[in-house]
Amino acid sequence: MKKILTILLLGLTIGLQAEKQTAEEPLYAGSTYAEDGSQTSIPGTPESVKKKPKMAAYLMVYHKDADHSLHMALSRDGYSWKALNGDKAVVSGDTIAQQRGIRDPHIYLGPDGTFYIVATDLHLFGQRRGYRDTEWERDGKLYGWGNNRGLVFMKSKDLIHWTHTVVRIDEAFPDHFGELGCAWAPETIYDPEEGKLMVYFTIRPTGTGKTQLFYAYANDDFTALVTEPQLLFEYPDKNVQILDADIIPMPDGRYCMTYCAQENPGGIKMAISDHINRGYVYQPQQIDAEKGACEAPTMYKLIGQDKWLLMYDIFSIRPHNFGFMETTDFKTFSDLGHFGDGPTKRDGFSEQKHGAVTQITEKEAVRLENYWK
């Protein structure tokens, strides 16, 4: 009886606090999706409850090899995209990264209404640009291709003004990752079980060997990782390298993780779990539609529709392009082709790499359009 009374009193307290919000502005505490396609509630404490924005557009972030910087494109329907700032960088990589360049940017709207971007701190052509004297920061024979050690964390309330911090995995966790081979393709998602932002990424734990998928939790300021990276998912064939994970909540409360498995050819696979940070069940099918290799999957929901688009980076074709698949059930995926040869269009940009998409409001879309005229 005491337990029942406690639960009733707790429910009444939360209900009274929720009533302080207006009826026109529903409440949410994390990142999942409502039937109209907008972000809606994840159970949280009363302190975590925020007003739910009405989504009306989509923002894509990507990088380009030409400048190793942050680029953006805008869409009202999720299919047709127009570059912002004339496809020039909106944030220059040489101003925010130790290696003077970024790759693999990912954008996420957190439960606090803040936008978070994470990216790989890596410039492939640092030697050519005069940023370093060697091909890589360290000996490629000992530490492998790329062999960077840092990630860039960024955050913004308005999508225009960004703070930034470089997070060095090797310096933060020297005992187990002091000699890591690389740290690539970070992404961010809110973990409702932990009540924290989870950052997950690709790590080659040692100088040689295969890349694997790891996760850790960020501090409240989004300037550091406060937990040591842990293994997120283990591929059944240890001889196959995996990378570039992307996690999205499913309508039934589970999580879908897409990632690249570098088989022959390398392609996109998926795994499903009841929890964000563990328990992912391997699915054997490859869900992209490419004859050659592709990587960097990202999924986003269409606003007001029970449809999700899978976008991925096709590095095996020339000119470089993105491919798209569409699903309504996370079981079957329909091929939408590439940018320019199907329903997906791009205006004012090309040769984009490793993209990610978030929903935004109409007010935010107009603000970006006006600022980057």
For residues 215-228, average pLDDT: 98
CA distance 193 to 170: 27
What count of Cα atoms within 13 Å lies in the side-chain half-sphere of residue 139? 5
**3-class secondary structure, 310:** strand
pLDDT at 53: 81
Helix-strand-coil split of the chain, %, nearest 5? 15, 40, 50
User: Using alpha carbons only, how large is the chain's radius of gyration in Å?
Assistant: 20
| 285-336 tens-digit pLDDT | 999 999 999 999 999 999 999 999 999 999 999 999 999 999 999 999 999 9
Return mean pLDDT, the chain: 90
pLDDT at 50: 54
| pLDDT range class, residue 103, cuts 50, 70, 90 | very high
Q: Is residue 125 within 8 Å of 93, Cβ to Cβ?
A: no
**3-class secondary structure, 17:** helix
pLDDT at 160: 98
Which residues does residue 32 pair with via DSSP β-bridges, in sequence order? 40
In this model, does residue 3 exceed pLDDT 60? no
| pLDDT range class, residue 20, cuts 50, 70, 90 | very low
| 146-157 tens-digit pLDDT | 999 999 999 999
| pLDDT range class, residue 51, cuts 50, 70, 90 | low
CA distance 118 to 58: 18
Which residues does residue 166 pair with via DSSP β-bridges, in sequence order? 152
pLDDT at 4: 40
Whole-number Cα distances in Å, 219 to 73, 147, 199, 318: 29, 25, 10, 41
CA distance 373 to 109: 24
CA distance 261 to 205: 17
| 123-142 tens-digit pLDDT | 999 999 999 999 999 999 99
In this model, does residue 1 exceed pLDDT 60? no
CA distance 315 to 329: 27
In this model, does residue 18 exceed pLDDT 50? no
In this model, does residue 186 exceed pLDDT 70? yes
CA distance 225 to 109: 18
| 325-364 tens-digit pLDDT | 999 999 999 999 999 999 999 999 999 999 999 999 999 9
Query: Residue 23: which H helix or E strand, with range?
Result: none
What CATH number does the domain located at 2-245+344-371 have?
2.115.10
Residue among 89, 83, 49 nearest 65 (CA): 89
